[in-house]
Amino acid sequence: MPHNIDLILTLTGGLTAALALGFLTHKLKLSPIVGYLLAGVIVGPHSPGFVADENIAAQCAEIGVILLMFGVGLHFHLKDLLAVRTLAIPGAIVQIAVATGLGAVITRAFGWSWSAGIVFGMAIAVASTVVLTRVLADNRDLHTPTGHVAIGWLIVEDLFTIFALVLLPAFFGPGSEDSSLAGTLGWAVLKLVALFAFALIAGQKLIPWILGTVARTGARDLFTLAVLVLALGIAVGSAELFGASMALGAFLAGMIVGQSDFSARATADALPMRDAFAVLFFVSVGMLFDPSGLAEGWPLMLATIGIVIIGKPLAAMVVVLLFRRPLREALSISVALAQIGEFSFIVAALGISLQVLPVDATNAIVVAAVVSITLNPLLYKAIRPFVSWLESRGHISPRLITPDGESPASEEGAERVIMIGHGPVGSTLTRLLRDNQVDVVVVEMNLETITALKASGIPAVYGDATQRQTLHHVGIENAKGLVITASDIPARDIVQAAREINPHLQILSRAPTLRDVEPLKQAGADAVFSGEGEVALAMSSHLLRSMGASDAKIEGERVRFHEEFLQAPSA
C-alpha cells in the first residue's frame, strides 16, 4: 500500500508542478519543456518541500522514452530525407562530428577521459524534435524548403541517436572488455540488421492487419489500446529477443505504422499518452539537477551552452553556405538546430548507467537544455528582421537572401482543400474541385472508403478530424480551404481547432440543423449550410413560383433567408 501511495504522490506532485510551470512558461512565450524541467528541480531531492520518488519517476520516464521514439518513427519518411539528402546528410554528419569533437576536447580540459568526452559530445550533438518542429510550425516554415532541410537534417540526427543507443552498450556494457572492437561492432550491427529485417518483413504485414482488424470494430478505446500495446510490445521484444534498446524497437514500430493507412489516427491517439509520459520524462531529468553543483560546475555548464548555441549552429551555417544556399536559409537551419532536448537526455542517461559519464554531465546538459530551449524561439523570430536589416544596410546582396525563382514565403499546399467526410456531399464536392484542378485531401473514418479513394488516386487520410494532429497531418497550416461535409461529427470542434491553427483558412461547414448554424459561425466558419434550411428554401421557391411569383421576388426571398437564417453570403 505505501508503494501505491508513493506512485500516486509522485504522479500527482510531478504532473501538478509540470502543469503550473508549463503554463507559466507558455504564458511567457517560452517552451513548456523549460517548465517541465524546472518542475523536476522543484520536486527533486535537492530542493526543499515535496520530494517525488526517483525510482517511480524513472520508470514512468522509460515509458515516455518509448512513446517519444514511437512518435519519431510515425513521422519518419524516407522520401523526405532523400529529397534533401545532398545537404541534410553531409550537413548533419559534419555538425555531429564538430559537436562531438568540441565536447570531447572541452571536457578533456576538465579532467574527463576521452571516452566520457566523446559520449558527452554525442549527447549534445542532437537537437530536440519537439522544439524544432514547434519552432518551424510557429513561424510557418515547416512546409517550406527550409523546413524540409531542417527536418531531413533532424532525421539524420535521430538515426545517429538510434545507432548510439545500440552501440554504446556494446562498447561499454558488461563483457565488452573481453571482446574485440571489430567483433563487438560486428555483432551489434548483425543484431541490428536482424531486428530491422524482422520488423520490416513481419511488421509490414502483421501490424497493419492488427490495426485494421481493431479499427473495423469502431471502438476508439480498443484502437488506442492496440497502438499502445504495439509500441510497448515491440520495444520490449527488441530488448529481450535482439538485445537492442527499447527505444529502437519503439522507433521501428512507429515507422511501420507511419507508412500504413493508420498513420494519422495512430498519431492522434498516441500523442496524448506520449505527451503525458514525456512530461514525466522531463520531470525525472529535472530531478537529477543539483543546484548546489552550480558553484563548482558553472564553467562546464557555460562551455556546454557555448557548444550548443554557438559551436553547433556555426558548423551548420558554414555547411549550408558552402552548398551555395541563401543566407536566410542558412541562418534558419542553423538556429533551429541550436538546442538540445529529449535525445540528449536519453544518451546521457545511458552513458551514466554504463558508468562512462560522470554525474556532472547531467547538470551541464539540463542547464544547456533549459537555456537553449528558452532562447531558440526568440532567436528564430529575429532571423528575418536581421537579414532585412543587413539588406537595407547594403551588407549583403539580395541574391544571397533568396535563391533565384524561389520566394521565402512560398509554401506547399497553397491550393489545397481539406475535405472532411466523403459521403454523397463530400464525394460530389471532391469530384467538382478536382475537375477544376484543386488539390483535395479527404479525411475519413471509414477504412473501406479510404482504400477505395487511394485506389482511384485521390489523397485520403484515415483519421479523426477532431484531433489536432490529424489536421496537422494533412497540412492544415498551409491549406487554402476546409470543407466539413459530414453531418455526424462535432463540426464546431473542428472549426475552432482549424481556425486557431490557420487564421487565414477559408472554412465551409455543413450544419445538421438550423440551430447549429450560429455556433459554427461563432467558432470561426466563414459559411455554414444547413440541410434543413436548403430544403425549406427549395420547397418555398417552388411554391412561390407555382403561385405566380416573379424570379426577382424569389431571388429576394432567397437573399433574405440566407441573411436572416444562415447568416452566410447570398452570392
Domain ranges of the chain: 2-173+185-383, 416-566
pLDDT in tens, 519-550: 888 888 888 887 766 677 777 777 777 877 78
Q: What element of type H or E holds 295?
A: helix 294-306
Across residues 403-420, what is the average pLDDT? 54
**Band of residue 64 on the pLDDT scale cut at 50, 70, 90:** confident
What pLDDT sits at residue 229?
Answer: 85
Across residues 239-257, what is the average pLDDT? 76
The residues, ordered by sequence, that sit 6+ positions from 129 with a Cβ below 8 Å of its Cβ are 68, 71, 72, 154, 158, 341, 342, 343
What pLDDT sits at residue 177?
Answer: 55
Across residues 14-36, what is the average pLDDT? 86
Across residues 309-336, what is the average pLDDT? 91
Across residues 394-402, what is the average pLDDT? 48
pLDDT in tens, 338-357: 998 778 888 888 888 888 88
Position with higher pLDDT, 318 vs 137:
318
* Beta strand 506-511 pairing with 527-530: parallel
C-alpha angle 219/71/475, rounded to 5°?
A: 85
What pLDDT sits at residue 396?
Answer: 54
* 330: its cell numbers: 542558412
The residues, ordered by sequence, that sit 6+ positions from 570 with a Cβ below 8 Å of its Cβ are 558, 559, 562, 563
Cβ-in-10-Å burial (0-12, 13-18, 19+) of 313 comes to buried
Position with higher pLDDT, 231 vs 320:
320
What pLDDT sits at residue 525?
Answer: 87
Strand order across the 416-420 sheet: 460-462, 439-444, 416-420, 481-484, 506-511, 527-530
CA distance 332 to 364: 26
> Do 2-173+185-383 and 416-566 come out as alike in CATH topology?
no
What pLDDT sits at residue 455?
Answer: 85
**51-55, 212-216, 226-230: the lowest-pLDDT one:** 51-55
CA distance 332 to 327: 8
Residue 411 has pLDDT above 50, yes or no: no
CA distance 413 to 321: 28
pLDDT in tens, 83-128: 778 888 999 999 999 999 999 999 999 989 999 999 999 999 998 8
Residue 303 has pLDDT above 80, yes or no: yes
Residue 398 has pLDDT above 80, yes or no: no
Residue 25 has pLDDT above 90, yes or no: no
Cβ-in-10-Å burial (0-12, 13-18, 19+) of 274 comes to buried
Give the largest Cα separation in the chain, rounded. 101
Position with higher pLDDT, 193 vs 460:
460
CA distance 523 to 516: 11
Across residues 431-449, what is the average pLDDT? 85
Position with higher pLDDT, 328 vs 567:
328
* H helices, E strands: number in the chain: 25, 6
- Comparing CA positions, the residue from 135, 136, 107 lying closest to residue 122 is 107
Cβ-in-10-Å burial (0-12, 13-18, 19+) of 291 comes to exposed
**Band of residue 306 on the pLDDT scale cut at 50, 70, 90:** very high
- Asked if CATH classification 3.40.50.720 holds for the domain at 2-173+185-383, the reply, yes or no, is no
Residue 452 has pLDDT above 90, yes or no: no
Position with higher pLDDT, 368 vs 392:
368
Say if residues 446 and 512 touch (Cβ distance below 8 Å): no
Fold of the domain spanning 416-566: Rossmann fold (3.40.50)
CA distances from 83 to 34, 77, 263 (A): 33, 10, 21
CA distance 122 to 70: 21
DSSP letter (8 states) at residue 488: S
What pLDDT sits at residue 274?
Answer: 73
pLDDT in tens, 188-198: 677 777 777 77
**5-19, 346-360, 405-419, 483-497: the lowest-pLDDT one:** 405-419
**Band of residue 565 on the pLDDT scale cut at 50, 70, 90:** low
Mean pLDDT of the chain: 80
What pLDDT sits at residue 55?
Answer: 79
What pLDDT sits at residue 314?
Answer: 95
**Band of residue 299 on the pLDDT scale cut at 50, 70, 90:** very high
Measured in degrees and rounded to the nearest 5, phi and psi for residue 287 equal -65, -25
What pLDDT sits at residue 410?
Answer: 35
CA distances from 472 to 267, 269, 497 (A): 10, 14, 10
What pLDDT sits at residue 322?
Answer: 92
